[in-house]
Amino acid sequence: MNREDALQKIKELQHELEEHNYNYYVLAKPTISDFEFDMRLKELEKMEKEFGVNDPNSPTHRVGSDLSSDFEQVVHKYGMLSLSNAYSEEEIREFDTRVKKIIGIECDYVCELKFDGSSISLSYENGELVRAVTRGDGEKGDDVTTNVRTIRSIPLKLRGNDYPESFEIRGEILMPFEVFNALNAELEEAGEPLLANPRNTAAGTLKMKNSSVVATRKLDAYLYYLLGENLPADGHYENLQKAREWGFKISDHMALCKNLEEVFAFIRKWDTERFKLPVATDGVVIKVNSKNLQDNLGFTAKSPRWAIAYKFKAESVSTVLKSVSYQVGRTGAVTPVANLEPIPIAGTIVKRATLHNADIIKNLDLHIGDTVYVEKGGEIIPKITGVDATQRHPMFEAVRFIANCPECGTPLVRNEGEAAHYCPNEDGCPPQIKGKMEHFVSRKAMDIDGIGEETIELLYSQKLVKNIADLYELSKEQLMNLDRMAEKSAQRILDGLDASRKVPFERVLFALGIRFVGETVAKTLVNKLHTIENIQNQSREQLTEIDEIGGRIAESVVDWFSKPEHLVLIEKLKKQGLQFAINDEQLAGRTEKLAGLNIVISGTFEKHSRDELKKMIEMNGGKNVGSISKNTSYLLAGNNIGPSKLEKVTKLGIPTISEDDFLKLLEN
């Protein structure tokens, strides 16, 4: 295939895949299977690589990068102000009176659901996404374009051709309940503290520096406000309908209202119907429809005069606290759980509520038998918000956080600066042992086929395994003696264990379950230190000199390797053939040409991507750092650098080098 034909084929594939993305994520009407989509995506990825096509708005860029990126500060062309809030119909009537007093005529209102997520402003030029910026302080926000490109409901290229040459559209980045619940289920299995709500999780995800992780979080978005010159219509409602045609995900649940009674009908409907939605909402936004009237109404210092947000009351019910139980996770974290008299709330029957930690219990002054108030609202995990002390009997016993582990009896510890209590008996506490095994065999760690939570429970209860090394001593006969374990299943497990011997070192290190050593930290340690012996022999001070390794992580690593039983465990795993060093192929090409240099990368480059440049720095012994400080050696500067960075390097006297300068540095 010649280059001209290839480029045409690439363009056709990009268009086809974006159509499938639109059908699946915006219309919720997929027309091909996930497998067929993945095969076409792989074909496109291969062709783009072969013919040197690097289109930032290609569907292949939606998977993100596994390397960190900085967030540039961007000044909003139009300020992102917050809305005034209303909590009653009377306050809505007062808003209506203020509007009519200024404009002197009746007007239409648009009612929209107030999505509970993270605000975003998207800029498009010539039909392509060029920038995505968070609200920030309203005047300027963080450029999170790389992360937003991974959100499949946000179009990278628009449909049709009747859109303005340049415009902004604003909306809310959300994490659907289904995704949030699955994420919490993973955390619960890992013994980690649970996330409180989708809103905070979405906001935190959007600000992650690893866009490949953002891509796995399956964020969604609803857009609700079009800004710019030459918009299609004067009506806000009409503009959003047009934006829907361009490929934007606009909520179906909005209404053009002729009077206040229609506004109130919309509010009353969604005060109850909202619990059926797949994403969090916390109110209704009422906007004057006409753009001309919006301009006449203008703004106060804090908010537009032409819009107001009616906030739903969080559904709160009272029930009785029957008991408090305690769960021990893989890391030893002990989480208190309130066991309640079952009560319906926000569309589900609630029997339990998290109490998070000892401080929450103390602040609530809980007693067994108390009548407590429970809320769900935007919080997916029910929580106790208060106690009706008037209903308390004098004989009710106060809840005291336990002093010993409920599973093994070991005295609990609480580290300075942390809210959670921990059981320190990590190698003798049953739920921690089983939790570590479940983590070890999990997909992102050793990915051992055929072993799950139920199998580990059986193996542990039958005393066939006491730690992760024992898994490699299992025989087919032992496995086949387990309940519901046939020969085929047993062989599958043995094959999975054998295959895990080839898993690379960074995943083996992650699989060991060292506290605070996640996938990214494990990769950082392995790339810098190369062998398990080198990691084992590092002091706290030496570890904290490594980029992204803070004091808490360093202390945890040093503590883990200080325990003789862990050194014995590693020796056993070594004898089983697991990888505890970087292989020769991975080490090839490494130099110390940039040793001791801290280099900040900023801007866009012609010959290499930022990810490639970062890899070059690391392969040559340098350190890629995220922010400029007095310890920065160079600013590797491309095009379109933020003015704040240039100002800072000038002030600190830090040398700026171009891409060509950097490549010459490596040559020398």
344 vs 342, which has greater pLDDT?
A: 342
54-69 burial, b at 16+ Cβ within 10 Å, e below that, comes to: eeebbbbbbbbbebbb
Sheet holding 109-115, edge to edge: 85-86, 307-311, 281-288, 109-115, 254-257
Q: Do domains 430-502 and 505-587 have the same CATH topology?
A: yes
* CA 453 from centre of chain: 25
Instruction: Give the pLDDT of residue 652.
Output: 86
Nearest alpha-carbon partner for 338 in 360, 363, 317: 360
CB 557 within 8 A of CB 455: no
Number of residues that this document lists for the chain: 668
CA 543 to each of CA 415, 538, 564, 573, 574: distance values in angstroms, whole numbers, following the listed order: 20, 6, 20, 24, 23
Instruction: Give the pLDDT of residue 436.
Output: 94
Instruction: Give the pLDDT of residue 222.
Output: 96
Is 70 exceeded by the pLDDT of residue 35?
Answer: no
CB 371 within 8 A of CB 387: yes
Of the listed ranges 145-149, 202-206, 239-243, 553-557, the one predicted with least confidence? 202-206
How many CB atoms sit inside 10 A of residue 586's CB?
15
Is 70 exceeded by the pLDDT of residue 379?
Answer: no
Structure-block tokens of residue 613: 């440049």
- pLDDT digits over 285-305, tens only? 999 999 999 999 988 767 899
3-state SS of 278-335 is: CCCEEEEEEEECEHHHHHHHCECCCCECCEEEEECCCCEEEEEEEEEEEEECCCCEEE
Nearest alpha-carbon partner for 134 in 183, 205, 195: 205
Phi and psi torsions of 156, nearest 5°: -85, -30
| Alpha-carbon dihedral 389, 390, 396, 398, rounded to 10 degrees | 10
Q: What is the mean pLDDT of the chain?
A: 88
- pLDDT digits over 303-332, tens only? 899 999 998 877 778 999 999 999 998 889
Q: 218: which residues sit within 8 A by CB, 6+ positions away?
A: 175, 176, 179
Instruction: Give the pLDDT of residue 167.
Output: 96
DSSP label at 24?
I
284 vs 136, which has greater pLDDT?
A: 284
Is 80 exceeded by the pLDDT of residue 668?
Answer: no
- pLDDT digits over 86-127, tens only? 888 999 999 999 999 999 999 999 999 999 889 999 999 999
- pLDDT digits over 499-541, tens only? 999 999 999 999 999 988 988 789 889 988 999 999 999 999 9
The backbone region for 349, taken as left when phi is positive above 0, alpha when psi lies in -120 to 50, beta otherwise, is: beta
- When pLDDT is cut at 50, 70 and 90, the band that residue 60 belongs to is confident
355 vs 45, which has greater pLDDT?
A: 355
Phi and psi torsions of 347, nearest 5°: 90, 0
Homologous superfamily of the 598-667 domain (CATH):
BRCT domain (3.40.50.10190)
Give the dihedral sign, CA 662/663/666/668: negative
Instruction: Give the pLDDT of residue 190.
Output: 63
Name the 3-class secondary structure at 350.
strand
Instruction: Give the pLDDT of residue 470.
Output: 96
Q: Of 1.10.1740.10, 3.40.190.10, 1.10.150.20, 2.40.37.10, which CATH number belongs to 505-587?
A: 1.10.150.20
Distance CA 76, CA 136 (A): 10
Instruction: Give the pLDDT of residue 248.
Output: 96
Structure-block tokens of residue 542: 């030496």
What percent of the chain has a predicted confidence (pLDDT) above 70? Answer: 95
Mean pLDDT for 13-19 is 87
Instruction: Give the pLDDT of residue 539.
Output: 95
Q: 534: which residues sit within 8 A by CB, 6+ positions away?
A: none
How many CB atoms sit inside 10 A of residue 472's CB?
18
* CA 516 from centre of chain: 17
Q: Class assignment of domain 316-391?
A: mainly beta
- When pLDDT is cut at 50, 70 and 90, the band that residue 70 belongs to is low
CATH 1.10.287.610 fits 3-63, yes or no: yes
Q: Class assignment of domain 75-311?
A: alpha beta
Give the strand pairing for 623-624 and 598-602: parallel
Instruction: Give the pLDDT of residue 68.
Output: 39
Instruction: Give the pLDDT of residue 192.
Output: 67
Q: 363: which residues sit within 8 A by CB, 6+ positions away?
A: none
Give the strand pairing for 73-75 and 140-142: antiparallel
Q: Domains of the chain: which residue ranges?
A: 3-63, 75-311, 316-391, 430-502, 505-587, 598-667
Mean pLDDT for 56-85 is 75
- When pLDDT is cut at 50, 70 and 90, the band that residue 410 belongs to is very high
Nearest alpha-carbon partner for 249 in 158, 167, 181: 158
How many CB atoms sit inside 10 A of residue 390's CB?
6
Mean pLDDT for 461-470 is 95
Mean pLDDT for 420-424 is 94
* CA 161 from centre of chain: 34
Name the 3-class secondary structure at 167.
strand
Beta bridge partners of 220: 174
DSSP label at 473?
G
Structure-block tokens of residue 502: 């080839």
- When pLDDT is cut at 50, 70 and 90, the band that residue 463 belongs to is very high
Q: Which of 114, 140, 614, 645 is catalytic?
A: 114
Instruction: Give the pLDDT of residue 66.
Output: 41
CB 207 within 8 A of CB 145: no
415 vs 625, which has greater pLDDT?
A: 415
Nearest alpha-carbon partner for 511 in 485, 532, 491: 532
| Amino acid in position 440 | F
- pLDDT digits over 529-584, tens only? 999 999 999 999 999 988 778 888 999 999 999 999 999 999 999 999 999 998 77
Is 90 exceeded by the pLDDT of residue 15?
Answer: no
Distance CA 33, CA 537 (A): 50
Is 80 exceeded by the pLDDT of residue 348?
Answer: no
- pLDDT digits over 597-613, tens only? 889 898 888 888 887 89
Distance CA 143, CA 135 (A): 10
Beta strands in 23-108 (DSSP E): 73-75, 85-86
Task: Give helix then strand counts, H and E, for the chain.
Answer: 25, 21
| Domain 430-502: assigned CATH number | 1.10.150.20
Residue 572 annotated in active site: no
- pLDDT digits over 183-207, tens only? 888 777 666 667 767 888 898 899 8
Nearest alpha-carbon partner for 113 in 382, 378, 383: 378
CB 356 within 8 A of CB 379: no
CB 249 within 8 A of CB 26: yes
Instruction: Give the pLDDT of residue 546.
Output: 86
Instruction: Give the pLDDT of residue 1.
Output: 78
What percent of the chain has a predicted confidence (pLDDT) above 90? Answer: 53
Beta bridge partners of 599: 624, 634
∠ CA 54-55-58, rounded to 5°: 120
